[in-house]
Structure 1
């Protein structure tokens, strides 16, 4: 599916103007397209922001497709995407790289292995920071200078001043209110354009299932679309967690349903991932009403 065919001409021109021919060594880091926006304006606004060199923060529930959106942007701009997956154990080296012992001309030397931040900056590529609000607050200030007008960082391990090459952009993602996350520092958040990414529903979800799963039974596809809508409503009512409404898990269930009965597929892909017995029962009851 060509995402650009329905975009306004001025947005298509922005993509063409900012599309970099990727270095051969980094072709494998260019993401695959496939994200279908719930609203076309979401994609248009992100493209406009990135084309102006602005950082973009994707905010939405788990499984809503934020990582797939980042990969699709990488594909649209033909830009390699370096990634950092945040956790409470994230340290500075996870961003900038680390020192290691190597040998050159028979002599032992200390070499520096660049991390995703340094790689993206030096090559003018995209950096994707997933679940940025999972990182310890004391780790993130290192990237403040990267995210503002300076677009630079002093590597704390080598003292090298690194200035970002043209084309460098930061795309980050957060799951607000998720276990293990912290409130994002306002100074850090202000360095981003914030985009809400919601769950796909209706015709967009139906198309996603057709394009990205092995399921081709029209009746079953429509039933899974309805199941997703019911799960999202249950999430909004506080009856189940966001994990239950994950689009990623739903697609897994659709894939399995091409081979095994749908209720068993839902059990394996969605229900058994949940910890709370009450949540499991809610999903099980919803599936019982839709599938034979």
Structure 2
């Protein structure tokens, strides 16, 4: 339970109110002026309404629409009056209304949703006579006999267990013995029921389901056992729920040989300290969803996008935008081909986006907000629920179910960026990425014995490299946090100097010669 306050505008002033009075909040579904209306009652008598966001409520108060989700689980919410106040009506600052502040306790609705997640649909091959719509019967599952019983009489066998879209019938041997099944209806020779998984059974089924998925993926040659082990270690390290990774595994397919060259483990993986990767993965497991990763240079946007492609085990194509990129660079173009017979033939060469759409690639649109608006407009139909595009030379193309779009976008504080068209922008869920302001704590966790003065030097060099990236002097791919970790772990003044370690682990990871030179200049300023 958590404590919250709400404001109540008094409509019925005939009901006396004093501090400490107990009141009740209830939904009023037929109130035509506000679809989120919640009324307040004292001893059954109407007092007024919970303030909407039309009102300027005190900072510690929540408005009515924030309370609406709780009424999915509650018929009413109890509270007590703790103070009177004045609420100013936002649309007319001269108009003020008398109001009272009420203290309420709210349940953990996330926990309620989690309980709902554990409900299994059960199909039983059996017959018990007609079960009316309002009549529900409690049955028990006998694990040893694999039968369903009512009052010690067998009524049938479970023929299907379903959780959302997943069929879990093969896992009924992991159910708890004597588990309750609520039979809700009967149709023909089948009974329809529901059961709530115990935590122990739920964990067993999840583990077994994931294990079987992985075995199937490896057996079919879709991914290697070693690569999946690396992914599991990664999700554990970055607090990605296993159920989320299971949803990702369910999307794995076998790609053609020519597609495999676009699939690889990134040299550097994104380190998720704030949960942004978890949210990105969750959105991308939903149908027809795209994401935008927005933030300053050096925040790890490209690294996160490449990490996502690796976890999803899909080919990835990166399109780096500039003002010179046109629609032919994206979709493709006509050219002349010479046949084996020496004849000239006009052919269409697929562009990177066309290839990705056809074959189910992840496409990373890098620095999308420097692109020509006309190019972006041409993509709209393939980025929304239609998931298709018309190309005159090819006709209508339906996107592969595994096609996915991720854009990276620099903060609009940078020069040279365009304001994205609202229609294009609206097709993406925007996730803000923030870089590490300091890596001292991270490096200390890798080597608890590292000296403070060495930590300070490494942190200053890191900040200097981030500044170069932010100013556009070097690529964000030239910043390697893992490189700094390697320095913290391997530096030993009796064997190797700090500068030597930095050259091997940080400088040499630079994306190109110019970037390496810039990074070396910073190191020379910090390390003698």
Same fold (TM over 0.5): yes
- Between the aligned partners of 1:242 and 1:198, the Cα distance in structure 2 is 16
- Between the aligned partners of 2:277 and 2:298, the Cα distance in structure 1 is 18
Unaligned runs of 5+ in 1: 211-216, 274-279
1:45 aligns with 2:274: no
Q: How does 1:13-28 map to 2 (within 5 A)?
A: 13-28=246-261
TM normalised by structure 1 equals: 0.76
- Correspondent of 2:430 among 175, 194, 200: 194
- Between the aligned partners of 1:43 and 1:272, the Cα distance in structure 2 is 30
In the alignment, what sits opposite 2:56? none
Q: How does 1:204-215 map to 2 (within 5 A)?
A: 206=443
Q: Which has the larger radius of gyration?
A: 2
Change (3 A) 1:203 1:21: farther
Q: Deviations over 1:99-119 (max 9, x none)?
A: 110122522111111011111
Change (3 A) 1:272 1:124: closer
Structure 1 position 84, deviation (Å): 1.2
Q: After superposing the two structures, state which structure 1 stretch, 80-89 or 33-42, moved more.
A: 33-42
Structure 1 position 270, deviation (Å): 7.7
In the alignment, what sits opposite 1:214? none
- Between the aligned partners of 2:518 and 2:460, the Cα distance in structure 1 is 20
Structure 1 position 62, deviation (Å): 1.5
In the alignment, what sits opposite 1:36? 270
Q: Deviations over 1:122-164 (max 9, x none)?
A: 11121111111111112210000011111111114x1511110
- Correspondent of 1:251 among 480, 488, 510: 480
TM normalised by structure 2 equals: 0.44
Partner secondary structure for residue 48 of structure 1 = helix
Asked if 2 retains the 8 angstrom alpha-carbon contact of 1:86 and 1:130, the reply is yes
- Between the aligned partners of 1:204 and 1:243, the Cα distance in structure 2 is 27
Change (3 A) 1:111 1:222: farther
In the alignment, what sits opposite 1:142? 378
- Between the aligned partners of 1:226 and 1:163, the Cα distance in structure 2 is 50
- Between the aligned partners of 2:303 and 2:443, the Cα distance in structure 1 is 17
- Between the aligned partners of 1:41 and 1:171, the Cα distance in structure 2 is 17
Partner secondary structure for residue 139 of structure 1 = helix
Asked if 2 retains the 8 angstrom alpha-carbon contact of 1:244 and 1:270, the reply is no
In the alignment, what sits opposite 1:79? 314
CA-based RMSD of the aligned residues comes to: 3.8
Partner secondary structure for residue 180 of structure 1 = coil
Asked if 2 retains the 8 angstrom alpha-carbon contact of 1:63 and 1:243, the reply is no
